[in-house]
Structure formats: structure tokens, C-alpha cells
Chain A
Amino acid sequence: MALDQIVERCQDLYEDLSFSSVQAWKEAGSGRKAIGYMPVYVPREIIHAAGMLPVGILGGGEHLDVIHGDAYYQSYICRIPRSTIELAITGRLDCLDGMIFPSTCDVIRNLSGMWQLKFADKLVRYFDVPQNFDRDVGGVFYTHELRDFCEQLEALGGNRITNANLAASIALYNENRQAIRDLYQYRSAKPWQTPTAEVYLLMRAGMVLPVDDHTRLIRDYLAAVETVERPLRDNCRVVINGLFCEQPPLGLLKSIEIAGCYVVDDDFMLVARWLLHDVPTEGDALENLSEAFISYSAETSCKFVALREDKGKFLVDSVRRNGAEGVIFASPSFCDPALLDRPMLQNALNAHRIPYTAFKFAENSGQMQPIREQAGTFADSIKLWSAA
């Protein structure tokens, strides 16, 4: 498939707020079920092993007119829950047979209760993950939670999740993780070839497509992008941080690049990059997923960092590994995790003399000029004043 066609397909999926691809997938086989999940992390392998389609629900984005959703939230609550409620009330999420709400923050947690009250006929699960990373403590708790999750899906779908089919699902997701690692490495090496808006759309496609289709799409993209030559600009290299839950408008990502910043790492759709290595396919599959979470998962503001000296290390490592020259903190308004974490991450960057800038956005932010100016000034300051 040609590059333009791939990007166009991803764009169509991104703009489709009716989730018709999910509906089509369900109609292609009898008794098929789809399970929605919110950011940041759920083990999609388990949903897949139950014969169901995991569907990432990341709010309504910039094109959704939120009419009902605002009546459910005070003005000081972020936008993603109100647009998600809007999607549900307007029937756009009718294709989902259940919704999973990970332990991202109090707002997403309470949204699980709202779902229980509003959509009592659907499966609703608050997905708790341990903040204790000792495998004999948090690991044991988490393995039990995973087992309980399996039983819940088995009851809903009628398919038993065997160790063999969970291992097979893990293998498919390992391939997907590898493809995504390749995509991110490629962008880091040649950011001029892979605009972040395209990378973003590719990752978004993975929220609605079956995992093998998504892996193929990434592979096709990587092959196609090598056939075109895009101009190399004198941009600085930045990592963007804070986009792990509420999503930025596409224009925001384009504005950052137009302003002179190549994005070489980010934290959007962490569900696909949460486990940092392949999960073993031998042995007890649930234990393997649990061990992966405990021992080699990514870091974000929703996760407790046990030692002070490790706070911000994940971000600093990303900056170093990707040869970035600075960090842009783009945090959703009223996002407790991102905004409370930011001063500590900034302290870690200060300790390593890494420059940064920060602004807030909402998924429906329309005015990009201030962001372009701020990102442009940041890029200029790096070019002019950075020690490098």
C-alpha cells in the first residue's frame, strides 16, 4: 500500500466517531464481542484471548460536539470523561459489550461508577493495578486480578481463556510491540521522514484494528516511508510528555513540528508500549503478563516511583536515548497526574541541564497560534543557546 493510502486509512479510522470498523469486525463473525478500554494500560492480550476485540476509547477529540457530556461534569474537570460520556449517550459506543476503566486517576476511576449507574446492562470493570512492584506482594495481587478479569470475560463471551490461546495472543502482541518499537526507532533516527502526526495516526489505528492488522499496517508504513524522500529541516529534537490520557488535537502535534521541533519520543497510547520487552510465551501466561507489568513496564504519572532518585529517570533516559535536545510538557487542563508530576520531572531535567517548556491543552483546543509561538521560541532558544 502506498504511503498516502496508509495515512488516509488511519485518518479515516481516527475521524470515525461511530466506530464503524468495530461494528464491521463484529458483524464479520457470529457472537463477536468488543470491549472498550480507556487509557493508560489494560492487558489487551486477555481480551484478545477471549476472542474479543479490544477497542481503545480516547475521548471524542476535537470534532465531537459535546452537548450532554458537559451536564455531567463541573467546569474544573478535564474533557476526556465528558466527551466519552457524550460518545456513549449518543449511541456511538453501542458496539461495545463492555468498558474497562484502568486506575489512571480519580476521574477515570469515578467514570467507572458512572458507567455502572448509566449502562448497567454492559460489562463494566475498574481495572486496578498494583502500585507495589514487589512480585510477591503487588505481583500476587495483580495475577489474581488478571485471573478475575479472565473469568469475567469468559462469563460474558462464553469462550474459555486457556493458557495456550493466551500465549498465542501474547505472541501476536509481542509482534505488535516489536513493530511499534521499530516505528519509534525509525522516527528517532529519521524524524523528517516520519511526521509525528502520521505516527500518531498509526498508533490510533491500533486502538480499533485487530492486532495483526495493525502490525501489518505499521510494517507497510515503514516500507512505504522508505520509498519517499522528505526534506530534512533544521529542527531541534524534542520529547513530548503528558499526553498519556486525554489526546491532543492533531493540529497541536503538527504545530509543534511546524514550529521547528522534531518529536523523537512521546507518551501517547502507552497501552501499546507499556510493556517494554516481549512477554514470554512459555509457561504460565497470566504469570508472564503479571511479571511483565511488575518488572518491565513503562513509567508515567499514574505510576508510583518507589525511590526518589528514580523519579524522572525514565524521561531523562528517553531524552538521552533519542538524542533529544529538550522536552515539551503538553498537559491536558485539569489533569491531576500530569500536572502534579510535572514539577518533579522538571526538577529531574534541571539536574541534567535539559531544557523544557510547558503548556496546557484540551482535546478540543482550537487556537494553535500560541502553541506554535511557544514551541517556536523553545526551538529557537535550543538552537541559539544550547551547549550542544
Chain B
Amino acid sequence: MNTAATQNPEIQKEDSMLLQKAMINANYDALATAHEDGKKISSTFVPGNLNELLMCFDFVRNLPEINALQAGMRKKSGGYIMEAERSGHSEDVCTYVKSDLGMMAQGQVGPNGKPLPTPDLLLLSYTGCFTFMKWFELVRDRYDCETAMLHVPYQADGKITDNMRKFVVTQIKETVIPALERVSGIKFDIDKLREYLAESAKAEDDLVWVLQSARNKPSPIDAYFGGVYYCGPIFTAFRGSPDTTAYYRALRREVGERIEQGLGPVTPDGVLEDERFRLVVEGPPNWTHFRDFWKMFYDEGAVVVASSYTKVGGVYDFGFRHDPAHPLETLADYCLGCYTNHSLPARVDMLCNYIDEYQADGFLVNSIKSCNSFSAGQLLMLREIEQRTGKPAGFIETDLVDPRYFSPANVKNRLESYFQMIAQKRSRGDARTAA
């Protein structure tokens, strides 16, 4: 086994990770006491979330995907999923949904050990994932709370048409805002929204800077395993808040220092010292064995320099920023632009671009059983990308939060073979160059 990272008995964390942890814990605390504090709770999804708009109405934001993810990392999702299956949910369907439903059935205790109160509103941002629609129908079936649907059309031809944008804006005006006003009892203030959007744009600038720092050799970040932490605040309940701007400023500073010192990414075992493979990864990670999974990469000196999953809650690295001058239109463009709302050809173009721009050695798909939105078509994407870039492609299969679908030995074997393939291909290339 290669150990490229400095071994350290204690799990290593960046300062920004600790800052983020504090933000997440504070949000769970706010959720636990929201009703006592006279506040309303809105549940909503990560892709296409209207966080700035929800903040205008003082909603405390609950993100069921994040709850499921947290349950996965805390080894609780397996039990929740079994609970949901026992009550009649199919073994075939999304495990995020079943983890959420199972958690509700077992007393609805959040990751911080405190109860998660019943939401007052389900803001159904139906963006890039069919399952979202059924998920909130299922949650509504249990809680009988108001549901506001925001249907975001799919960018099938790789562009946002005026009709799509107008449809989303009209829904925000005619359906979403009135529902938010009704449930919260607070009148909509567009200037407040503009303030939050301006704050978002600052954080987005810094996030993009951080993600693009992986162009450096060695990369100072891992844009998949580390990237999911970096995206956390901006993808969830925090985008638009000054705390988030401060978080990204701190993160940028931290990464900047690493670049100056020529350091690699911080892994749970310390700083990765020997970057051997630079990868672009498509698909979400597995959460139930997150550290074990990551270790399979950094033990081999593999660093992910770009990933599609870190674009699932917003694609910012091709220029989009929330624009306070056009508040509702910018929310529409944000929702329409999330990664899984892009067509397969657009996704292929994006990934090829990453391979080129980040000087990757290979492309890897982590195909997720639960997530058809990502997974259906990935085998064709893989072939297409391999053909266009000439870079070796690899394919592994896991799941988001169902521990039954993470087979460590199998995944490790596949990854090791894949890294060998890249090494061989590289040595053949070097030999050819030498000749």
C-alpha cells in the first residue's frame, strides 16, 4: 500500500472545516428550537434552492438531503433505510428518500441528537431530479404541510430559453413568494433579496477561486472529497449570509497559503505529499464509508482536481453569479443552471473541459445506485469522454447512504487496477516521447 499522506493518529481538519461545522451545528440548533423561537421552518432541496429568498422571510432552512448525508456519515442511514423498507418502500428507489422517511419514522431526531420539528412549508424546487417531486409528496403525505412547487425546466438543448426563464420567474412571483408570505406572515422585500444576492456573489467568487486552485501542480485541494466540504455552505442553508462570505474568504486564504508553500490537499491523515494521479470525477460520493473511500484515493496519491458533484448545487465556474440587479431572473438562471439540469452532451463537454483545463490524468465515474439523474447515461458519457480526450476512464459503483451497496474490497480493487492502468498508459507515453 502506498501512503502518500503524512500519517497522523488524529484526523486532520482544515480551519475552514471547523468553521463550517460550527455553522452546520448552529443551523441544526436553530431548527430544533425554531418553533419555540417563533420561527417557521422550510424544507427544501440542494439543487435549485432559493436560500436567499427563504432568508427574506426569516425561515429556518432544513435540507433533507443533508440530513440523509449526515445520517450516512454517522452510520445511521442503514437503519433508517431498513425502517422505510419495512413500511413498504421499495428496495429499488432512492436511499436519500428512504433515509429521510426512516428517520421520521424513528422519531425524527436530527444529526445533533435534537428533534427536527415538522416543517411549516415544503419548497419543492423540482430541479434536475425527478425524485424530488415524489419525495416531497411523501413528506407532505406524512405532515400535511403546505407545498410550494417550483418546476424548473430541463436544459435539454444546452441553453436557457426565454420561455424557460419566464416560466421560473412567473412561478417565483405567482406561486412561491405568495406561499412564503402566507406561511411566514412576512411581506416580501426585494431590497433585502438584493442584499443577500450581493453577498452570495462575493462568496461565489471565492468558491470558484478555490475550486480553480486545483489547476496548480500539486493541487492544493481535493476537489471531490475536500470539495464537498467547500461546497457545503454555499449549496445549503447559508448562501447569502455574511457568515458564508467570511467562510469563503477564510477558505481562500487557507488555500492560498497552501499554494504558496507548494502543499497538497489536507486529507484525514494529513497533507498529501506525493500527487501521483490527477483525476476528474463524475457523480456523488458515498457517504457511509466516506473516509475509507477517500483513503483509497490518497493512499495511492490520487487527487481529484475537478468533479461534477461540486456543481450539483450551482455551476459557478463558467461565469454565473447571482446578480442583485435582476433578482428573480438570477434565481431562475441559478436553478436552471444546476449540474443535473444540464443535458448529457453538455455534461460531457463540461467534463472534457475539466480534463483539459485541470491537466487530469484520467476520468472516473462513481455511479450511484440511488441517483438516476446522475447515473442513467454515465456509461455512454464515459465512452464519449474517453474517446474525445484519450484519457483512461474508470467506473465504480456505490450508493449515497445505503451501506449495503458499498463493497470496500470491490471498490478498492477496481481503483487500484484503474490507477495501474493510468500509470501504464503514462509510462507508455513517456517511453514514446523518449523514443
The residue of chain B having its C-beta at the shortest distance from the C-beta of A312 within the complex is B141
Q: A186 to B137, alpha carbons, bound, how many Å?
A: 35
From A71, A148, A336, contact of B372 by CB (8 A)? A336
**Least CB distance, B308 to chain A, in whole angstroms:** 14
**Least CB distance, B116 to chain A, in whole angstroms:** 20
**Least CB distance, B354 to chain A, in whole angstroms:** 18
Asked if B343 and A113 make an inter-chain contact with CB atoms under 8 angstroms apart, the answer reads: yes
Q: A131 to B129, alpha carbons, bound, how many Å?
A: 13
**Least CB distance, B95 to chain A, in whole angstroms:** 11
From A117, A144, A148, A346, contact of B380 by CB (8 A)? A117
Known: A109-B154, A126-B156, A131-B149. A343 touches B130 (CB 8 A): no
Determine if A94 is an interface residue (Cβ-Cβ < 8 Å).
no
Asked if A134 and B175 make an inter-chain contact with CB atoms under 8 angstroms apart, the answer reads: yes
**Chain A contacts of B175 at CB under 8 A?**
132, 134, 137
The residue of chain B having its C-beta at the shortest distance from the C-beta of A77 within the complex is B376
The residue of chain A having its C-beta at the shortest distance from the C-beta of B348 within the complex is A117
Q: A138 to B345, alpha carbons, bound, how many Å?
A: 27
**Chain B contacts of A72 at CB under 8 A?**
377, 379-380
Asked if B348 and A126 make an inter-chain contact with CB atoms under 8 angstroms apart, the answer reads: no
**Least CB distance, B227 to chain A, in whole angstroms:** 23
The residue of chain A having its C-beta at the shortest distance from the C-beta of B347 within the complex is A113
Known: A131-B149, A141-B163, A304-B133. A110 touches B141 (CB 8 A): no
**Chain A contacts of B166 at CB under 8 A?**
140-141
In residues 90-127 of chain A, which contact B (Cβ within 8 Å)?
Answer: 103, 105-107, 109-114, 116-118, 125-126
Known: A117-B348, A308-B144. A344 touches B131 (CB 8 A): no
**Chain A contacts of B97 at CB under 8 A?**
340
Interface residues of A, CB < 8 Å — how many? 57
**Least CB distance, B406 to chain A, in whole angstroms:** 14
**Chain B contacts of A125 at CB under 8 A?**
156
Determine if B369 is an interface residue (Cβ-Cβ < 8 Å).
yes
From A76, A105, A128, A344, contact of B153 by CB (8 A)? A128
**Least CB distance, B146 to chain A, in whole angstroms:** 9
Q: Mark B152-164, 1 if CB is under 8 A from A, else 0.
A: 0110110001011
Partner-contacting stretch, out of B84-92, B292-300, B411-419: B84-92
Asked if B130 and A336 make an inter-chain contact with CB atoms under 8 angstroms apart, the answer reads: yes
**Chain A contacts of B379 at CB under 8 A?**
71-74
The residue of chain A having its C-beta at the shortest distance from the C-beta of B92 within the complex is A334
**Least CB distance, A367 to chain B, in whole angstroms:** 18
**Chain B contacts of A130 at CB under 8 A?**
151, 167
**Chain A contacts of B344 at CB under 8 A?**
110, 112-114, 116-117
Asked if B137 and A344 make an inter-chain contact with CB atoms under 8 angstroms apart, the answer reads: yes
Asked if B174 and A137 make an inter-chain contact with CB atoms under 8 angstroms apart, the answer reads: yes
**Chain A contacts of B345 at CB under 8 A?**
113, 116-117
Asked if B156 and A106 make an inter-chain contact with CB atoms under 8 angstroms apart, the answer reads: no
Known: A113-B156, A304-B126. A344 touches B171 (CB 8 A): no
**Chain A contacts of B163 at CB under 8 A?**
141, 144-145, 148
Asked if A74 and B154 make an inter-chain contact with CB atoms under 8 angstroms apart, the answer reads: no
Q: A388 to B87, alpha carbons, bound, how many Å?
A: 28
From A111, A112, A340, contact of B93 by CB (8 A)? A340
Q: Mark B343-369, 1 if CB is under 8 A from A, else 0.
A: 111011000000000000000000101
Q: Mark B378-398, 1 if CB is under 8 A from A, else 0.
A: 111000100000000000010
Determine if A342 is an interface residue (Cβ-Cβ < 8 Å).
yes
From B147, B154, B174, contact of A134 by CB (8 A)? B174
The residue of chain B having its C-beta at the shortest distance from the C-beta of A145 within the complex is B163
**Chain A contacts of B90 at CB under 8 A?**
331, 339-340, 342, 360
**Chain A contacts of B380 at CB under 8 A?**
72, 114, 117-118
Determine if B373 is an interface residue (Cβ-Cβ < 8 Å).
yes
The residue of chain B having its C-beta at the shortest distance from the C-beta of A125 within the complex is B156
**Chain A contacts of B212 at CB under 8 A?**
none
Residue picked from B134, B154, B375, most chain A C-beta under 10 Å: B134
The residue of chain A having its C-beta at the shortest distance from the C-beta of B340 within the complex is A106
**Least CB distance, A360 to chain B, in whole angstroms:** 8
From B92, B134, B348, B375, contact of A341 by CB (8 A)? B134
Asked if A301 and B376 make an inter-chain contact with CB atoms under 8 angstroms apart, the answer reads: no
**Chain B contacts of A134 at CB under 8 A?**
174-175
Q: A113 to B138, alpha carbons, bound, how many Å?
A: 29
Asked if A113 and B377 make an inter-chain contact with CB atoms under 8 angstroms apart, the answer reads: yes
Asked if A141 and B372 make an inter-chain contact with CB atoms under 8 angstroms apart, the answer reads: no
Asked if B92 and A76 make an inter-chain contact with CB atoms under 8 angstroms apart, the answer reads: yes
Residue picked from B94, B161, B343, most chain A C-beta under 10 Å: B343
Asked if A336 and B376 make an inter-chain contact with CB atoms under 8 angstroms apart, the answer reads: no
Asked if B343 and A116 make an inter-chain contact with CB atoms under 8 angstroms apart, the answer reads: yes
Q: A304 to B138, alpha carbons, bound, how many Å?
A: 11
In residues 57-85 of chain A, which contact B (Cβ within 8 Å)?
Answer: 71-74, 76-77, 81
Known: A76-B92, A128-B156, A340-B97. A110 touches B377 (CB 8 A): yes
**Least CB distance, B386 to chain A, in whole angstroms:** 13
Known: A304-B133, A342-B90. A141 touches B156 (CB 8 A): no
**Chain B contacts of A308 at CB under 8 A?**
140-141, 144, 147
Asked if B170 and A140 make an inter-chain contact with CB atoms under 8 angstroms apart, the answer reads: yes
Q: A305 to B93, alpha carbons, bound, how many Å?
A: 20
Known: A113-B377, A343-B88. A106 touches B131 (CB 8 A): yes
Asked if A336 and B343 make an inter-chain contact with CB atoms under 8 angstroms apart, the answer reads: no
Known contacts A74-B378, A76-B92, A145-B163; 17 additional CB pairs below 8 A are: A110-B373, A113-B345, A117-B345, A128-B156, A131-B133, A137-B167, A137-B175, A304-B133, A308-B141, A333-B92, A336-B94, A336-B130, A336-B131, A340-B93, A340-B94, A340-B134, A342-B88
5 closest A-B pairs by beta carbon, nearest first, are A113-B344, A126-B156, A340-B134, A141-B167, A339-B90
B residues whose Cβ falls under 8 Å from a Cβ of A = 87-90, 92-94, 97, 124, 126, 129-131, 133-135, 137-138, 140-141, 144, 147, 149, 151, 153-154, 156-157, 161, 163-164, 166-167, 170-171, 174-175, 343-345, 347-348, 367, 369, 372-373, 375-380, 384, 397
What are some 18 contacts across the A-B interface (CB < 8 A)?
A: A71-B379, A73-B379, A112-B344, A113-B377, A126-B343, A132-B171, A141-B164, A141-B167, A141-B170, A145-B163, A301-B134, A304-B151, A306-B149, A336-B130, A341-B134, A343-B88, A346-B88, A347-B141
